[in-house]
Amino acid sequence: MSSSSFSIKSVSILGSTGSIGCQALEVIRAFPERFRVIGLSAGSNIVLLQEQVLIFRPQIVCVLTQADAEIMTSFCSVQALSTQVVWGDSGLLELAVFGDPDLLVVAIVGTAALMPTVHAIRQGISIGLACKEILVAAGDYVMSLAREKKVSILPIDSEHAAIKQCLAGILEDEKQVSKLVLTASGGPFWDRPLETFSDITREEALQHPNWTMGSKITIDSATMMNKGLEVIEAHHLFGIEYDRLDIIIHPTSIVHSLVEFSDGTFLAQMGLPDMRFPIQYVLTYPEKLPNPWPKMQLSALKSLTFHAPDFKKFPLLQLAFDAGRQGGAAPLVMNAANEVAVRLFLDEKIKFLDIANLVRDTVARLSQEQCPTFEDIVALDHRVREEVGCRFA
Ligand code: MG
């Protein structure tokens, strides 16, 4: 193959200043001949966005507020950049499809990126999905829309990227696959005695043993809600029923997930716990390219250990299976309530154990709501947030 046999991939990133967004740009920077950045969106970190704009020279950027848009506009004019600046929800919609990118990386936390993601899928744009909440809240709708538009949803979540790699070339005959097994680090508390859970502090919950991530997903890992959300994400991505989805605690996060086959054998995907690997997998898909990141040394691995999950200690894990099986609005309600509960915990308005209680109560109260249309999904998502948030305003 000649070196010119690949075409340049154009990429836009929703959430470029977050943990995944920054690492996606790091991967892009490692393969400068392969990618062109069309659009970047940021939250409140305007200084970092300005650095990214100088390096990647996108055609469009989106910020949250009009005031930030004015700052960015004058910055671009001082730097003699022709970058277009948009802001707010309508700006995000514009950016998601601007210039018809080959891939839209969705790396905004929570369901904030649901509308722009759906907008991009409707325009036939492939999605690199780092935001599992979108599939939890609206998986049936999003996946059927993606099938209709022949759009790929490529998972940046390490477990799902692992399973996708294990299944490469195998999924043709579903009967071969008996189970998908998601590994879970267990977070900081998997071996902490349950009697001491009422003393867990915000700082303890923010200490993840293996992965450096944003605060929302780090708390989700501590409650193991993250793994629950990933079970629902896997159900939608791989079209597999909940009885064939397993969780296994694997504290060192070396095995990123496994597929069990009907003959009793497994395929696992392994590597260092470094999000640049699954991000690169999605960005360069279906190719595997040499990269400069540190690699796993097999001889340095003393052992690989696995433990059954404790559903009593981590009730949100059970709730996720239950909500997934119930279907309808239950996963959406669970996810929205959890997003608010995590925010309340980070703001030190509720205790660690209150997160699960608040989510469970909200699911019990609202999971029977009906969401026949996409607009209904968005409306219920807002309503759950308002109702849960109001109780602590
Ligand atoms: Mg994950």
Amino acid, res. 52? Q
DSSP alpha helix (H) spans, 254-373: 276-284, 315-326, 330-346, 352-366
How much is the average pLDDT of 101-110?
A: 95
* Token couple for 309: 């999950």
How much is the average pLDDT of 380-391?
A: 94
Q: DSSP code of 188?
A: G
Amino acid, res. 64? L
Architecture of domain 3-156: 3-Layer(aba) Sandwich (3.40)
C-alpha distances (whole Å) from 335 to each of 126, 356, 382, 385 are 24, 11, 11, 10
How much is the average pLDDT of 340-365?
A: 97
Residue 150 neighbours by CB distance under 10 Å: 8
Identify the pLDDT of residue 391. Answer: 85
Q: How many CA atoms lie within 13 A of 284 on its CB side?
A: 21
Decide: 334 and 242 in contact? Cβ < 8 Å.
Answer: no
Single pTM value for the model: 0.95
How much is the average pLDDT of 288-309?
A: 95
Question: What's the CA-to-centroid distance between 245 and ligand 1, angstroms?
Answer: 15
Q: Report d(CA 298, CA 56) in Å as an integer.
A: 36
Report strand pairing: 177-184 vs 255-261.
Answer: antiparallel
Q: Report d(CA 35, CA 370) in Å as an integer.
A: 42
Question: What's the CA-to-centroid distance between 156 and ligand 1, angstroms?
Answer: 8
Question: What's the CA-to-centroid distance between 393 and ligand 1, angstroms?
Answer: 31
Share of the chain above pLDDT 90, in %: 92
Collapsed DSSP state (helix, strand, coil) of residue 47: helix
**Is pLDDT above 80 for 198?**
yes
How much is the average pLDDT of 135-140?
A: 97
Angle at which helices 374-390 and 114-122 pack, to 10 degrees?
170
Question: What's the CA-to-centroid distance between 74 and ligand 1, angstroms?
Answer: 38
Q: Report d(CA 363, CA 348) in Å as an integer.
A: 22
Question: What's the CA-to-centroid distance between 140 and ligand 1, angstroms?
Answer: 20
**Is pLDDT above 70 for 7?**
yes
* Helix (H) or strand (E) segment spanning residue 105: strand 103-106
Q: Report d(CA 156, CA 128) in Å as an integer.
A: 6
Query: Which residues have a Cβ under 8 Å from the Cβ of 300 and sit 6 or more positions away?
Result: none
Question: What's the CA-to-centroid distance between 68 and ligand 1, angstroms?
Answer: 32
Question: What's the CA-to-centroid distance between 45 and ligand 1, angstroms?
Answer: 24
Higher pLDDT, 78 or 208: 78
Question: What's the CA-to-centroid distance between 271 and ligand 1, angstroms?
Answer: 14
Identify the pLDDT of residue 147. Answer: 98
Identify the pLDDT of residue 171. Answer: 63
| 5-9, 222-226, 262-266, 328-332, range with the lowest pLDDT | 5-9
**Is pLDDT above 60 for 1?**
no
How much is the average pLDDT of 325-351?
A: 97
Share of the chain above pLDDT 70, in %: 98
With cut-offs at 50, 70 and 90, classify the pLDDT of residue 2.
very low
Angle in degrees, CA 385, 391, 393, rounded to 5 = 90
Instruction: Please count the residues of the chain.
Output: 393
Question: What's the CA-to-centroid distance between 182 and ligand 1, angstroms?
Answer: 9
Decide: 143 and 217 in contact? Cβ < 8 Å.
Answer: no
Question: What's the CA-to-centroid distance between 158 and ligand 1, angstroms?
Answer: 5
Angle at which helices 352-366 and 315-326 pack, to 10 degrees?
20
* Token couple for 334: 């669970």
Question: What's the CA-to-centroid distance between 388 and ligand 1, angstroms?
Answer: 26
Identify the pLDDT of residue 65. Answer: 97
With cut-offs at 50, 70 and 90, classify the pLDDT of residue 175.
confident
The residues of the chain that CATH labels 3.40.50.720 are: 3-156
* Partners of 85 in the β-ladder: 61
Question: What's the CA-to-centroid distance between 83 and ligand 1, angstroms?
Answer: 33
Question: What's the CA-to-centroid distance between 57 and ligand 1, angstroms?
Answer: 30
How much is the average pLDDT of 148-153?
A: 98
Residue 43 neighbours by CB distance under 10 Å: 18
